[in-house]
Amino acid sequence: MSASPAPPRPTACLALADGTLFFGRGFGATGQTVAELCFNTAMTGYQEIMTDPSYAGQIVTFTFPHIGNTGVNPEDDETADPVAAGMVVKWDPTEPSNWRSAETLDAWLTRRGRIAIGGVDTRRLTRAIRQQGAPHVALAHDPDGNFDLEALVAAARGFAGLEGVDLAREVTCAQSYRWDEMRWAWPEGYTRRETPGHRVVAIDYGAKRNILRCLASAGCDVTVLPASATAEDVLALEPAGLFLSNGPGDPAATGVYAVPMIREVLERSQIPVFGICLGHQMLALALGARTVKMNHGHHGANHPVKDVETGKVEITSMNHGFTVDSQTLPEGVRETHVSLFDGSNCGIRMVDRPVWSVQHHPEASPGPQDSFYLFERFARAMDDAA
């Protein structure tokens, strides 16, 4: 009787700080990285997720198993390079089957220096994250399957975490620039805004391209400034509105320099202000509220959010590990949206000025388009203030 062939040797290992080990098949780049581990429940948009600057310092576990099946293409990048530290998937990526595909996920990750592991029990991993909180992990990929397990666990335990860390400085633009590209539409693809519009200053804490496209599609003439921009930098451009973008890290750390700028702009002008994700948290801090770290955060394209002022429920895209503590909102600031998953804050506004923000992502990249109206509301507020 012939012996059964030996099972293939694992070529990747995910080590949690508590000593738990997950073995699988590596793809993408080789090497080792450490980060916080989160899970994302979206069924589409893995390329947009990996290039979302809000994932800096994190490895993403995808709960949907079919990752890589549509390949990748340059049009779907949300920033120049992947920002997430790595990815964890259930099944190995298959050969892509999509007319827009220009490259396989494996080749794209390899070229961009990002490590991935397949063949992992992502349901078990997701349950662990929900029950224990987002763990610190080390992810290694070695084609020969040689791993120092004790060293990997030690590396995971040595990761400092995201609390108290300002990551916006690492992902923001180096200098200001103009933006006029609008949302993708069939059959033209991306087009340029050619008509004049409201001059908007967008602060880049880690801005996704599709957010800027949504601003342009809503009729905005967008100038992007780095996260460290001062109130003088903003007001010197004489904007009709101020936009605060998404981004990674601890909002309290970024707020050290961002909050004084926002407060000064609010004191010196009456222009509408609109914030998303980290920008929402920056505005809340500037108005006097506090933020706290969540157990495992919200990451996905299927999160129900209720507008408490209208009763409308929207399905939204989310990506955040910190939240605004609604109990600390000061007088004159009203909670406008809440998560129907856990009741956490998802939106605020000043009661007497066109200043508001939301925790979720209304740009739908990836995700539903239920909340695009927020960009149009921003444009109308600038119309009214003109």
Residue 357 domain flag: yes
**pTM of structure:** 0.96
Q: Which of 125, 158, 191 is the last residue of a domain?
A: 158
Identify the helix (H) or strand (E) that includes residue 25.
strand 21-28
- Residue 48 to residue 209: CA distance in whole angstroms: 10
Q: Catalytic site residue 277?
A: yes
Number of domains forming the structure of the chain: 2
Identify the helix (H) or strand (E) that includes residue 99.
none
- Tell me the C-alpha to C-alpha distance, in Å, between residue 301 and each of 8, 73, 173, 351: 35, 20, 26, 29
Could you tell me the CATH number of the domain that includes residue 83?
3.50.30.20
- Residue 51 to residue 252: CA distance in whole angstroms: 23
- Residue 216 to residue 219: CA distance in whole angstroms: 5
**What single-letter amino acid sits at 374?**
L
Instruction: Specify whether 125 is located in the same domain as 27.
Output: yes
Q: Catalytic site residue 13?
A: no
| pLDDT exceeds cutoff 50 at 241 | yes
Euclidean distance between the first and the last CA atom of the chain, given in angstroms as a whole number: 86
Residue 3 domain flag: no
Residue 1 domain flag: no
Percent of the chain with pLDDT over 90: 95
Crossing angle of the two packed helices 373-385 and 209-217, in degrees rounded to 10: 50
Q: Which of 277, 296, 303, 360 is catalytic?
A: 277
Instruction: Specify whether 172 is located in the same domain as 151.
Output: no
| pLDDT exceeds cutoff 80 at 3 | no
| pLDDT exceeds cutoff 70 at 53 | yes
pLDDT for the residue 55 = 97
**What single-letter amino acid sits at 247?**
G
Kindly report the number of other CB atoms within 10 A of residue 262's CB atom: 24
Instruction: Specify whether 146 is located in the same domain as 197.
Output: no
Q: What is the pLDDT of residues 246-272, one digit of tens each?
A: 999 999 999 999 999 999 999 999 999
Q: Which of 36, 48, 78, 363 is catalytic?
A: 363
Q: Catalytic site residue 363?
A: yes
Instruction: Specify whether 357 is located in the same domain as 233.
Output: yes
Instruction: Specify whether 193 is located in the same domain as 311.
Output: yes
Residue 2 domain flag: no
Q: What is the mean pLDDT of residues 220-238?
A: 98
- Residue 176 to residue 23: CA distance in whole angstroms: 44
Enclosing domain of residue 283: 168-385
Crossing angle of the two packed helices 251-268 and 278-287, in degrees rounded to 10: 60
